[in-house]
Amino acid sequence: MNHITSTLSKSVFSRVASRSLLGSSLGSNMMRTSIMHHRGYTTTTGASKKGGSGRFLFLTLAALGGAGGYYYTSAQSIKTKHVPALSTRKEIDYEAIYKDIAEMLDENPDYDDGSYGPVLVRLAWHASGTYDVETKTGGSNGATMRFEPESIHAANNGLVIARDLLEKIHKKYPEISYGDLWTLAGVCAVQELGGPTIPWRPGRQDVLDAKSCTPDGRLPDATKKEDHIRNIFYRMGFNDQEIVALTGGHALGRCHPERSGFEGPWQEAPTMFSNEYFKAISTRTWIKKSLANGGWQWVDKNNTDVMMLPAEIYMYNDKEFKKYFDLYAKDEEKFFEDFAAAFSKLIELGVPFKGNEKVYRFKATTA
């Protein structure tokens, strides 16, 4: 299998330690130097192999002429399971679920930068970001990404890893809906990696087949310009400030060549939620780099392991968007506040709340 070695900084600190390092008087350059070291990772995980075999099975069934509907990539068993009526469901201990997810985040130090947090945040966002305010379709209600074709939309490449991870939690707490579980995991990941408290409430109901899958193309395309990004997020009901705040989620995680074609994190501490993304985009010199797949991305002239997507620099060069990038680069508290509000709104898009759900403000286990 392919092994890619990157000179990227793997966060070797505990979540708490990394957070306090950022808050200390160390300049970002010093911090960068202090945490840089070589690391390697495997590009094909067991989980993605599993997705591949699901596709193979689908093709086989189709070839046999028996596949009139859809086949599920992963975690198939849940689809046909009987869903108990609400009245007979057992009380769900969301606090316990939060804690179990928090424990799982750094159980595999060899995965990426040492945390599953970023890929869980991306799952929560991609499950929710399909919402269309006009037709009231999409969003985290239904957890439609469990089904093909949504599970294999190119934008969702790699998310089978996150879905399979959460399957383990679902086995332990089968009463929680997948929509609730995925969004709760996103909230947990942001908080555990040092981000703001994000109010969360249950209420998503899973659909049991692929009929409600959203069409491809509802999530943003990173090669496109700011008008495309606006169209995508306006369709969900967000304004410019909310769009920029949400994009600050790229403080976490990295791009993977085998998932999106892009490569690298947005700054050197990708397992720590902070406003470093905004500081990076607004203060560094970005140069174009050609990619193996024929595309291109921006990289920091002084540390070419760090990247920006084409769409992000188009956004930064837009006057309206830029003022919020600059605001959040200067004011982390304001970023945390706005991110929490926008992310909470994102994960609630299209959810049929009754209005009497308890709103949870989970306490980070690292606090």
Single out the catalytic residue among 182, 200, 266, 298.
266
The answer to the question of residue 350 lying near ligand HEM (CB under 6 A) is no
Q: With 0-12 CB in 10 A as exposed, 13-18 as middle and 19+ as buried, what is 175?
A: middle
Instruction: Indicate the DSSP class of residue 303.
Output: E
Q: Side chain identity at 156, as an amino acid letter?
A: N
The answer to the question of residue 158 lying near ligand HEM (CB under 6 A) is yes
Nearer residue to ligand HEM within complex by CB, 210 or 229: 229
The answer to the question of residue 262 lying near ligand HEM (CB under 6 A) is yes
Query: Residue 169 Cβ, how far from ligand HEM at the closest point, in Å?
Result: 18
- Which has the closest alpha carbon to 140: 96, 74, 170, 184? 184
Q: Side chain identity at 278, as an amino acid letter?
A: F
**212: its two tokens:** 């409600």
- Which has the closest alpha carbon to 147: 84, 204, 211? 211
Among 104, 185, 229, 299, binds ligand HEM (CB under 6 A): 229
Q: Side chain identity at 22, as an amino acid letter?
A: L
Nearer residue to ligand HEM within complex by CB, 112 or 206: 112
Among 13, 71, 111, 125, binds ligand HEM (CB under 6 A): 125
| Contact region with ligand HEM (CB under 6 A), list: 49-57, 173-181, 243-251, 278-286 | 243-251
Among 9, 183, 247, 274, binds ligand HEM (CB under 6 A): 247
- Which has the closest alpha carbon to 231: 134, 309, 150, 146? 134
Q: How far apart are CA 194 and CA 15, in angstroms?
A: 7
Name which of residues 70 to 99 contact ligand HEM (CB under 6 A).
none
The answer to the question of residue 311 lying near ligand HEM (CB under 6 A) is yes
- Cβ-based neighbours of 46, under 8 Å, separated by 6 or more: none
Catalytic, 298? Answer: no
Its sign, for the CA torsion 9, 10, 12, 18, is: positive
Q: With 0-12 CB in 10 A as exposed, 13-18 as middle and 19+ as buried, what is 333?
A: exposed
The answer to the question of residue 128 lying near ligand HEM (CB under 6 A) is no
The answer to the question of residue 220 lying near ligand HEM (CB under 6 A) is yes
**77: its two tokens:** 């068993």
Query: Residue 6 Cβ, how far from ligand HEM at the closest point, in Å?
Result: 13
Catalytic, 296? Answer: no
Among 54, 249, 264, 350, binds ligand HEM (CB under 6 A): 249
The answer to the question of residue 253 lying near ligand HEM (CB under 6 A) is yes
Nearer residue to ligand HEM within complex by CB, 142 or 249: 249
- Which regions of 240-285 does DSSP assign to beta strands (E)? 254-255, 264-265
The answer to the question of residue 10 lying near ligand HEM (CB under 6 A) is no
Query: Residue 266 Cβ, how far from ligand HEM at the closest point, in Å?
Result: 9
Question: Are the C-beta atoms of residues 271 and 17 closer than 8 Å to each other?
Answer: no
Instruction: Output the residue with the shortest Cβ distance to ligand HEM.
Output: 253
Question: Are the C-beta atoms of residues 32 and 303 closer than 8 Å to each other?
Answer: yes
Nearer residue to ligand HEM within complex by CB, 45 or 144: 45
Nearer residue to ligand HEM within complex by CB, 186 or 202: 186
Q: Which residues are catalytic?
A: 126, 266
Which residues would be at the binding site for ligand HEM (CB under 6 A)?
118-119, 121-122, 125, 158, 220, 222, 229, 246-247, 249-250, 252-256, 259-260, 262, 309, 311, 343
